[in-house]
Amino acid sequence: MPAALTLTDVVVAFGALRAVDGVSLSIPAGERRAIIGPNGAGKTTLFQAITGMVQATSGRVVFEDADITALPPHRRAQRGISRTFQITNLFPTLTVRQNLFLALRGLAPGKFSLFGQPRITAAETARTEAALQAARLIGREETEVRALSYGEQRQVELAVSIVNQPRMLLLDEPAAGLSPNERAMVAEVIRALPRDITVVLIEHDMDLVLGLVDQVTCLHEGRVLVEAPPSEIRGNPAVQEVYLGRARHAAG
Amino acid sequence: MNRGVMWLLALLAAAVMPLVLSSYHVDLATRILIFAVLAMSIDVLAGFVGRTSLCHGAIFGVATYVVIWAMAKAGLPAAPAFLSGVLAATLVAALFGLLAVRTSGVYFLLLTVALGMVVWGICLRWTGVTGGENGLRGQDMRPGFLLARENFYWLVLAVAALTAWAMQRFVNSPFGLSLRGIRDSESRMRALGYNVPLHLFVGFAVSGFFAGVAGALYAFFNEYVSPSSVAMGQSVAGLLMAIVGGIGTLFGSFIGAAAIILLENTVSWYTDRWQAVLGLVFILTMIFAPEGILGTVRRLAAPKGRAR
User: Are A182 and A158 found together in one domain?
Assistant: no
| Beta-carbon contacts of residue B15 (< 8 Å; ≥ 6 apart) | B154, B157
The answer as to whether A85 is a domain residue is no
Q: How many domains would you assign to chain A?
A: 2
Task: Note whether residue A189 is domain-resident.
Answer: yes
Q: What is the ipTM of this complex?
A: 0.83
Do residues A3 and A68 share a domain?
yes
Regarding whether A191 and A151 lie in a shared domain, the answer is: no
Q: A172 and A72: one domain?
A: yes
A110 and A133, same domain (yes or no): yes
Residue A244 pLDDT > 60: no
pLDDT in tens, B258-291: 999 999 888 888 888 878 888 888 888 888 888 8
Residue A106 belongs to some domain of the structure: yes
**Is there a domain that residue A148 lies in?**
yes
Of A90, A107, A115, the CB nearest to B193: A107
Q: Which residues contact A199 (CB under 8 A, 6 or more apart)?
A: A31, A32, A33, A168, A169, A171, A190, A193, A213
Query: Are A16 and A46 within one domain?
Result: yes
Does residue A22 sit in the same domain as residue A38? yes
Is B180's CB within 8 Å of A77's CB? no
Confidence class for position A156, pLDDT limits 50, 70, 90: very high
Alpha helices per DSSP H over A69-224: 73-78, 96-106, 122-134, 150-162, 180-191, 206-210
Residue A173 forms part of a structural domain: yes
What distances in angstroms separate CA B265 from CA B7, B224, B262, B278, one per listed residue?
Answer: 26, 20, 5, 11
Over the stretch A114-130, which tens digit does the pLDDT of each residue have? Answer: 887 777 888 889 999 99
Considering the domain architecture, whether residues A157 and A213 belong to the same structural domain is answered as no
What is the tens place of the pLDDT at every residue in A205-235?
778 887 889 999 999 999 999 999 988 888 8
Q: Does residue A231 sit within a domain?
A: yes
Q: Are A172 and A154 within one domain?
A: no
In chain B, the percentage of residues whose pLDDT exceeds 90 is: 63
DSSP H or E run through B212: helix B196-222
Chain A hits for B209, CB-CB cut-off 8 Å, are none
| Position A245 confidence tier, pLDDT thresholds 50, 70, 90 | low
User: Which of residues A111, A144, A165 is at a domain's end?
Assistant: A165
Same domain, residue pair A194 and A74: yes
CB-based contact B172 A147, cutoff 8 Å: no
Q: What domain range is A151 assigned to?
A: 93-165
Q: Is 70 exceeded by the pLDDT of residue B111?
A: yes
The domain boundary, picked from A120, A139, A165, lies at A165
Q: Do B55 and B115 contact (CB within 8 A), yes or no?
A: yes
State which residue of chain B sits closest to A103, comparing Cα positions: B192
The CATH number of whichever domain residue A39 belongs to comes to 3.40.50.300
Residue B107: pLDDT over 60: yes
A29 lies in the same domain as A147: no
**C-alpha to C-alpha distances, B45 to B56, B117, B242, nearest whole angstrom:** 10, 19, 11
Inter-chain touch B191–A111, beta carbons under 8 Å: no
To the nearest whole angstrom, how far is the Cα of A235 from the nearest Cα of chain B? 36
Among B188, B206, B307, select the one facing A90 at the smallest CB separation: B188
Whether B185 and chain A come into contact, CB under 8 Å, resolves to yes
**Which pTM does this prediction carry?**
0.87
- Considering CB atoms only, which of A77, A92, A101 is closest to B184? A92
Q: pLDDT, tens digit, for every residue of B172-182?
A: 999 999 999 99
Which of A122, A144, A165 is where one domain is finished? A165
Give the separation between CA A127 and CA A132, rounded to whole angstroms: 9
Cα–Cα nearest to A1, from A46, A59, A64: A64
3-state helix, strand, coil in chain B (%, to 5): 80, 0, 20
Pairwise CB contact (< 8 Å): A77 & B191? yes
Selected for mutation to probe chain B from A107, A114, A124, A153 (highest B CB count within 10 Å) is A114
What mean pLDDT, rounded, does chain B reach? 91
| B175 Cβ under 8 Å from any chain A Cβ | yes
Same domain flag for A108 and A47? no
Judge contact between B74 and B67, C-beta under 8 A.
Answer: no
**pLDDT at residue B305 tops 50:** no
